[in-house]
Structure 1
Amino acid sequence: MKESITRAVFTLALVAVGSLSLFAQNQFPSQIWHKGSIYGLDGQTYEGLVKYDLENNLVQLKTETISIFPASNVSHFEIHNESNDGLRSFYSLPYSPNGDSQTPIFFEVLTEGYDITLLCREYIETDYKDTGTKGVVGAIPSNGPKTIRSNRVAFNYYFFKDNEIQKYSLKKKDLFAFLPGYEEEVNQFMRKNGLEHDKRADLLLIASYYNELNKN
């Protein structure tokens, strides 16, 4: 039974993972137009080329012209991942990142289940390299300016559990706090398949496996 659950999880989840690193240099998924659809709160569906901006919680639609939709006017939107023809879904959900009043922002849904749903928010992270010199004769040691080394796509992860969106700290002990009742089974699943607690594809598989266990 557990082996069949594992096979089902890998078959379903790997389709949704996709590759976010196959784009041209300096071209990230949020910077290009994708075939997709936007579902408005007015009941209308808008189809065309879609570009998303999670930092400002906006989504753009290109047809003959370009239209801009804030998260407050959108139920959800979908884009086709050009790297593997998969579908990525983003929902507008009320959230309060600073403990203030909640406001609609976009979350990507990685996997959804009866007990938990795994969400994420994508951003571009910049790594810096220290180019300062030290120990120069006649000069005061200084860290100097910093030079951009590289940019990469990164993610913050959240669990929708108990009717609340809760941010995941990327600490393994906190992961198991979101997955009660099956710690031994999940631990074994992670060890057997070499899964980490802080990687996008691995988290998707772990959450999917937990939801499959909870069905039985």
Structure 2
Amino acid sequence: MKKLTSIFLCLIGTTVLAQNSMMQNTKDALNVGGLKVGQHNSTMLYGFDTRTTEVLGSYYLDQDWSLATVRFYPKTISTPKGTVKLDSLTDVQIRIILYGNDVEFNTPEGVKVISGTLIKSFTLQKNNQLPKNYVSTLEFVDNYDKTKPSFFELLVDGKIKLLEYTKVNIQKPDYVEAFNTGSKDIKITKDKQLFITQGNEVLKLSTNKKEILELMSDKKAEVEAFIKQNDLSVKDRVDLLQIFKFYNGK
């Protein structure tokens, strides 16, 4: 595993020496204990007694570790080596726990967990794949309570952002001993949902062509012509990304 490194975004005029010192302090905050929630046992599902059941499915966004750049909300915390102002970490391996909104860090001292509410955004990078950008749901206003504290994948940036939210569903055991029916297992499924932004508000996207054209009313004729010329369908995820990229790029 690559050596864990960390970098702070510096203010204009900050010296390289000061930056390196902040980098080491941020690393210490994670490794020594300032950010530590605890050693995480990824076989456990918090809030459920799993001693006599199996967990079917995964509560991770991705079961595999991903190399990441993590950007924290500005926050000063206490560590055994003094106070540290959080900023960012680079070249770290992380996994996102959807249930409970926690983030695992794979460090030389073992797997450690911090609350996802401390993280503003992050970028994931895997071999032979394009980087994926994620932003905290706390960055947006959700007036209809369609999301919980977690992360949106930023599919398309621009005036109207296209976001993907992964909702985790947990089916509790429904075994009835008296009748020997039902299941003793905990079943986890994930549902990917599309959202768009209107200003700072997020709304669940309806994949209805008329509604999407109304959403892009300031360029409706151009978008409609683009859809027709390229034979695109708003029901198709790949086509939908093309439409939003076209609109935001105009």
TM-score range, shorter chain: 0.5 to 0.7
Aligned equivalents of 1:124, 1:81: Cα separation in 2: 23
CA 122–202 in structure 1, closer or farther in 2 if over 3 Å, else same: farther
Matches within 5 A, 1:93-108: 93-94=137-138, 99=144, 104-108=149-153
**Which structure 2 residue ranges, 5 or more long, are not aligned?**
1-56, 74-85, 170-181, 183-187
Aligned equivalents of 2:191, 2:148: Cα separation in 1: 23
Among 203, 208, 227, the alignment partner of 1:166 is 203
Give runs of ≥4 in structure 1 deviating > 6 Å: 26-29
Partner of 1:199: 236
1:26-60 deviations in whole A, cap 9, x for unaligned? 99962211121222222131532221233433322
Contact map agreement 2:135 2:154 (CA 8 A) in 1: yes
3-state SS in 2 of match to 1:30: coil
Aligned equivalents of 2:231, 2:126: Cα separation in 1: 26
Contact map agreement 1:37 1:50 (CA 8 A) in 2: no
**Which structure 1 residue ranges, 5 or more long, are not aligned?**
1-25, 126-144, 146-150
1:90 Cα deviation (Å)?
A: 0.7
Aligned equivalents of 2:151, 2:222: Cα separation in 1: 32
Partner of 2:227: 190
Q: Highest Rg: 1 or 2?
A: 2
1:85 Cα deviation (Å)?
A: 2.5
Report which of the two has the higher share of strand. 1
Matches within 5 A, 1:80-99: 80-82=125-127, 84-94=128-138, 99=144
Aligned equivalents of 1:124, 1:193: Cα separation in 2: 34
Matches within 5 A, 1:1-216: 30-41=62-73, 42-64=86-108, 65-82=110-127, 84-94=128-138, 99=144, 104-113=149-158, 115-122=159-166, 155-213=192-250
3-state SS in 2 of match to 1:56: coil
1:49-83 deviations in whole A, cap 9, x for unaligned? 2212334333222122212232210011111144x
Aligned equivalents of 2:100, 2:193: Cα separation in 1: 15
3-state SS in 2 of match to 1:196: coil
Aligned equivalents of 1:81, 1:30: Cα separation in 2: 12
CA 123–209 in structure 1, closer or farther in 2 if over 3 Å, else same: same
Percentage of matched positions with identical amino acids: 24
Contact map agreement 2:142 2:202 (CA 8 A) in 1: no
CA 104–208 in structure 1, closer or farther in 2 if over 3 Å, else same: same
Alignment RMSD: 3.3
CA 116–96 in structure 1, closer or farther in 2 if over 3 Å, else same: closer
Counterpart of 1:58 in structure 2: which amino acid?
D
